[in-house]
Amino acid sequence: MHLSCVLGSPVLAAEGERVGELVDVIAHLQPVGYPPVSGVIIEGDEGERFCHIEDVARLDCDEVRLRAAPRLGPFERRPGEVLLSRDLSARHLIHVSSGKLVRANEIELANVRGRLEVIGVDPTSKPVVRRLLPRRWRNGVRPGHVLVDWADIQPFVAHVPTARLQIPFRKLARLHPAQLADLVEAASHEEGEEIIRAVGADRELEADVFEELEPERQIEFLGARSDDEAARLLGKMAPDDAVDLLTELDQERRVPILQKMPPAAQRKIRTLLRYHPETAGGLMNPDFVLVASTASVADALAAVRASTAPAEAAAVVYVSDHEGHLAAAAPVVELLRANPNANVGTIAEEGPVWLPPDADVHEVVRKMTDYNLAVAPVVDAEGTMLGQITVDDVLELLLPAGWRRQYGMTAPD
């Protein structure tokens, strides 16, 4: 049954006397499975009254028939309960597998093993056409071909006045940080806050999502946080992304937030702040893996395992000479193929292509393109390695502002 067909149905007592009409259906959200219908709201001469689903003998698009002596009374929302029409109908929902927002233009109900349940939503335009028809004909218009199964749906519930009702982290954790950021970009501020609160159960994931957001959205959500909360978040972000966000904040917040960050993160960020953001020094990530030329292949791989650098930053192991200067580089895959007891210097390629910290973005792009580099080391005038640039950092700088929205990456279905 379509919810729109059920709404407005006459409600009859067991003897056939009309007592009002159905104005809403109540369902109980659950961690797994389809939400069961727990009751209905009836509008009659005495106003709105609640009727438990056990006191409903028949519910379809023709009528709602109550059992004898139904228990009717005021509706008091219990934890987990939502009003399908007022709380969910025509609102955004998260389509988890696609990582996009859909609009619940219709909510579909079905009798499953004797129990009425919410089985899915129709985000197509068919429900709009259906509502133009006389109500008794509406159920003949079947759901659109992209009917979304409720098992793949997560509703926003911040607007629902029910205690202890929130988005479960486990559903959103299935999405990539970029997909979660796309959802936040497409959502309203309230909806975006709800997504971010949910992923906040995993501090690393929360930081990854913030890294993917457009600057104006980062500022929007960080503005409501205390300096302590902001410092904790920036401390989890990649240093180069944290610097970009820190410099976007109002000047009076920058120093207090920076001072509250962990000492190691502070040192990295203060180093990056010395450089213009569109130079190699400003683009680089100060996290990298560097071993001495006397190290074995096994030692180099152990350094990779011990590193806290992100995967893309640890994909290459750099080798220093006896003076600590950058001398060679070896992809991790080559080390995995080599004899663990071999000297890393015999595996690594000497004289790797590098960039000075003051190289502008055009030089960075040209050199990484000419040499087909996924990562490029940044080295000072003395030959000391300062950091490395990954290709994704360059792409983010070259893409136009607001590119996700411009190219429809966040458009709701």
Residue type, 87: D
What is the rounded distance in angstroms from the CA atom of residue 23 to the CA atom of residue 18?
Answer: 14
pLDDT in tens, 116-133: 999 999 988 766 656 666
pLDDT of residue 165: 63
Helix axes 203-212, 189-199, angle to 10 degrees: 140
Long-range CB contacts for residues 214-218, cutoff 8 Å, separation at least 24: 214/185, 214/401, 214/402, 214/404, 215/244, 215/245, 215/248, 217/184, 217/185, 217/192, 218/245, 218/248
Exposure on the CB side of residue 14, measured as CA atoms within 13 A: 8
Of the chain, the percentage scoring pLDDT greater than 90 comes to 64
Q: What region, left, alpha or beta, does residue 149 occupy, with left being phi > 0 and alpha being psi -120 to 50 degrees?
A: beta
pLDDT at 57 over 70: yes
What string of H, E and C letters represents the secondary structure of 74-98? CCCCCCCEEEHHHHHCCCEEEECCC
pLDDT at 405 over 70: no
What is the rounded distance in angstroms from the CA atom of residue 100 to the CA atom of residue 42?
Answer: 34
Mean of pLDDT over the chain: 88
pLDDT of residue 135: 58
Mean pLDDT, to the nearest integer, of 240-267?
Answer: 92
Structure tokens at 283: 């683009």
Mean pLDDT, to the nearest integer, of 285-291?
Answer: 94
What is the rounded distance in angstroms from the CA atom of residue 301 to the CA atom of residue 306?
Answer: 9
pLDDT in tens, 310-347: 888 899 999 999 999 999 999 999 999 999 999 998 99
pLDDT at 404 over 90: no
pLDDT of residue 393: 81
Q: What confidence tier does 159 reach under pLDDT thresholds 50, 70, 90? A: confident
Of the chain, the percentage scoring pLDDT greater than 70 comes to 90
What is the rounded distance in angstroms from the CA atom of residue 78 to the CA atom of residue 26?
Answer: 10
Can you list the domains of the chain with their CATH numbers? 3-150 (2.30.30.240), 169-277 (1.25.60.10), 282-397 (3.10.580.10)
What is the rounded distance in angstroms from the CA atom of residue 410 to the CA atom of residue 406?
Answer: 9
**What letters, b where the CB count within 10 A reaches 16 and e where it falls short, cover 193-221?**
bbbbebbeeeeebbbbbbbbbbeebbeeb
What is the rounded distance in angstroms from the CA atom of residue 393 to the CA atom of residue 375?
Answer: 10
pLDDT of residue 301: 97
Which sign does the torsion angle of CA 54, 58, 64, 68 carry? Answer: negative
pLDDT at 18 over 90: yes
Q: How far is CA 298 from CA 182, 292, 332, 342, in A?
A: 40, 13, 11, 8
pLDDT at 226 over 90: yes
Residue type, 138: R
DSSP 91-139: SEEEETTTTEEEE-SEEEEEEETTEEEEEEEE-SSHHHHHTTS-GGGGG
Whole-number CA gyration radius for the chain: 29
What's the predicted TM-score (pTM) here? 0.79
pLDDT at 60 over 90: no
Q: What confidence tier does 403 reach under pLDDT thresholds 50, 70, 90? A: low
pLDDT of residue 309: 84
Q: What confidence tier does 413 reach under pLDDT thresholds 50, 70, 90? A: very low
pLDDT at 366 over 70: yes
pLDDT of residue 228: 95
E strands within 238-292? Answer: 289-292
- Say which range, 100-109, 134-143, 180-189, 283-292, has the weakest mean pLDDT: 134-143
Which sign does the torsion angle of CA 306, 310, 314, 315 carry? Answer: positive
